[in-house]
Amino acid sequence: KDKKGLNLPNTKVSLPSLSEKDRSDLDFALSQDVDWVGLSFVRSARDIIELKRIITSQDKHARVVAKIEKPEALEEIDGIIRESDALMVARGDLGVEVPMEKVPLIQKDIIRRCLREGRPVIVATQMMESMIENSSPTRAEVNDVANAVLDHADAVMLSAETSVGRHPVEVVRTMNRILREMETSDGMFNVPAADLRMNERSISDAISIAAVRMTKALSVQAIVTMTHSGYSAFKISSMRPKANIFAFTSNPRILCMLNLVWGVRAYYYDKTVSTDHTIADIKHLLRKRKQVSDGDLVINIASMPIAEKGMSNMLKLSQA
């Protein structure tokens, strides 16, 4: 068919990662202030760096999802993860480019590496393929979706099932039921934190790790982070605490972006007066929204002084 992608297994391609058509589409997407841009057929970290250079040159702030579909990407996966803001395991094309029996372990390995680096990861392609025609999935498809959740993917994605399928609404309902059921499992929570590394984020990382460990020891109901970049929300989420994660930010650009990150609910908040006042006010807002109840344990993470919007260096445990 016209305008279909072409796979060349066992072949290294030297074409640029962005075609002229891609660049035109990117310009349009950036003009609409999209939150995320997905780059297909990523081969190296250089592809991500070039895309981010274009985004920055247009004074835009879209985050980048690297779609992992090529064997070359697997050879440089750690570098790609570090340069990207999120990853997508695009199993359809990946299963053509590498032996299909290798794809399940590749999926698990990529998710594990993304969790270690605090990057969200999406599992995509052929998850509920039979529902393009049928009104219910196969048992194998149910297990596939369930395993993606237990692997700790942040999101699962539907493609042809909703774009050309006969039951687009029912497939979303069905997948949602599977996801909700799997997220009742204790196996979903408390992913071990990666070892601390000495860098400019060490203090912020240590605060986030301590907060998640406290949720497990003390049955904390909520972790509240004040964030301008979204970094602390990404980090906390990657450890899958068994507590609600609330991100409060004065940066409207990250509100929708954080919807991709597992377990995070983001709110706009720009009334920072002092640290104590801000913490008290946010707890009042959460009680008002019935997100927490009187007496619930809440952990607040922020920077001090709070008005400077620096990296997290403060943790406070208190009752709502």
Q: How high does pLDDT run on average in the chain?
A: 93
User: In which band, very low, low, confident or very high, does the pLDDT at 2 lie, cut at 50, 70 and 90?
Assistant: low
Co-location of 110 and 47 in the same domain: yes
Specify the CATH number for the domain of residue 315: 3.40.1380.20
Tokens of 139: 């048992």
Co-location of 255 and 231 in the same domain: yes
Q: Among 97, 102, 39, which residue's Cα sits nearest to residue 72?
A: 97
C-beta separation of 28 from 54 below 8 A: no
Question: Residue 97: which residues within 8 A CB-CB, separation 6 or more?
Answer: 7, 9, 69, 70, 71
Co-location of 54 and 168 in the same domain: yes
Q: Give the pLDDT confidence of 175-227 residue by residue, as tens digits.
A: 999 999 999 999 999 999 888 888 888 999 999 999 999 999 999 999 999 99
Co-location of 63 and 153 in the same domain: yes
Co-location of 218 and 179 in the same domain: no
The residue to which tokens 């997100």 are assigned: 291
Structural domain includes residue 3? no
Q: How far is CA 252 from the centre of its chain?
A: 18
Q: Is 152 helix (H, G, I), strand (E, B) or coil?
A: coil
* Lowest-pLDDT choice from 81-85, 105-109, 170-174, 192-196: 192-196
Q: Which of 135, 158, 186 is a domain's end point?
A: 186
Q: Give the pLDDT confidence of 118-168 residue by residue, as tens digits.
A: 999 999 999 999 999 999 999 999 999 999 999 999 999 999 999 999 999
User: What's the rounded mean pLDDT across residues 80-89?
Assistant: 98
User: In which band, very low, low, confident or very high, does the pLDDT at 311 lie, cut at 50, 70 and 90?
Assistant: confident
Co-location of 134 and 281 in the same domain: no
Co-location of 27 and 175 in the same domain: yes
- Structural domain harbouring 179: 20-186
131 vs 310 pLDDT, higher one: 131
Co-location of 289 and 252 in the same domain: yes
The residue to which tokens 């720009």 are assigned: 270
Co-location of 113 and 245 in the same domain: no
Q: Using alpha carbons, list the distances in angstroms from residue 99 to 14, 42, 43, 106, 207.
A: 22, 18, 18, 11, 42
Tokens of 306: 């709070």
Say which amino acid occupies 265. R
Co-location of 220 and 127 in the same domain: no
What pLDDT does 195 receive? 85
Largest CA distance in the chain: 62
Structural domain includes residue 194? no
Co-location of 94 and 182 in the same domain: yes
Res 263 pLDDT > 70:
yes
Res 13 pLDDT > 80:
no
C-beta separation of 242 from 215 below 8 A: yes
Structural domain includes residue 191? no
Q: How many folded domains does the chain comprise?
A: 2
Co-location of 63 and 179 in the same domain: yes
307 vs 85 pLDDT, higher one: 85
Say which amino acid occupies 240. R
What pLDDT does 309 receive? 77
* Rounded Cα–Cα distance for residues 300 and 84 (Å): 28
